[in-house]
Amino acid sequence: MQEITRILRPRKRERLDKYLKEAGIALSRSKLQGLIENGNVLVNGRRAKASHIVHEGEEIRVLYKKAVPFTVKPENISIDILYEDESIIVINKSPGMVTHPAPGHLTGTLVNALFYHCTLAGGSGKRPGVVHRLDMDTSGLLVFAKEEKAHLALSKQIETRKMKRKYEAFAWGNLELKKGIIDAPLGRHTLDRKKMAVTPLSSRTAKTHYKIIERFGDVTYISLSLETGRTHQIRVHLEHIGHPVVGDLAYGGRRKLSYVDKDRFKKIMSIMKRQALHAKSLTLQHPLSGKEVTYEAPLPKDMQNLLSFLKDIKTL
């Protein structure tokens, strides 16, 4: 952050907070009001209220911090490219990789790797070319834009729900129905702001469709598709119905449930060091040709190993 001091001299009468906004200080009105309340705005050397009416001849001194434009550092990191042309690039993200730079993860992200390989366009700041994201420990398909027009077109498909994303996961327990819809609103967890929760408070509509692929008694292999794309949606929804994603530390997937054999639980946890969730399929309208295209990514090694283990014990 860059610290800035500005000295202003108004020429007409109006509210202090409104004047600051019109004077070109690039902050929201609520943030400007916060500056005033915290004493970072002085009128003739004294603190003032947001409702103060400024007059011609007054000196207004403003101290605030402005975000310095972030530059993504290109890094030579191996990535799995499934498709690329002049407008888009489709990646099979490995588990453990953050999608784009964020506090605590400014390097080593997928965007850092892509900047070494190609140019991304659209988006802003730490998210150039980013259309949608996957959690760090979720593997699978992501599309990035290499042109501004492509970013606008793909973002519109996300907004209008025309981009289709299908996932595969292993969930604890034996889901009662062969297929169903989890319709439960999601918002920030009231106690842990890094987590999401099913809640009626400050929440957004969230719908997840699921279908059973195969049952293994205390674990179910399922296919899922998103009608909405909320943060941690699949993980929270499956925990909400009592069937958390196997291996999910944040949402109950690493706690042994009463019906799971102790030795089997230990073996499964040794196979899955992260949540058993994979973005398997991505269908979109190509921004240049307009044709509908589908990309698929095979299960990563750890989920393949889990599937093999479950099949082996099923035949015993």
Whether residue 135 lies in the annotated active site: yes
**CA separation for the pair 114, 75 (Å, rounded):** 8
Distances (CA, A) of 72 to 23, 130, 177, 269: 31, 13, 46, 35
| Closest CA relative to residue 141, chosen from 131, 156, 151, 127 | 131
**Candidates 17, 80, 135, 312; catalytic one:** 135
Parallel, antiparallel, or unpaired for β 139-145 and 277-285?
parallel
The region that residue 129 occupies, defined by phi over 0 for left and psi between -120 and 50 for alpha, beta otherwise, is left
Q: Where are the alpha helices (DSSP H) in 140-195?
A: 148-159
DSSP state of 64: E
Q: What backbone phi and psi angles, to 5 degrees, belong to 265?
A: -60, -45
Enumerate the active-site residues: 135
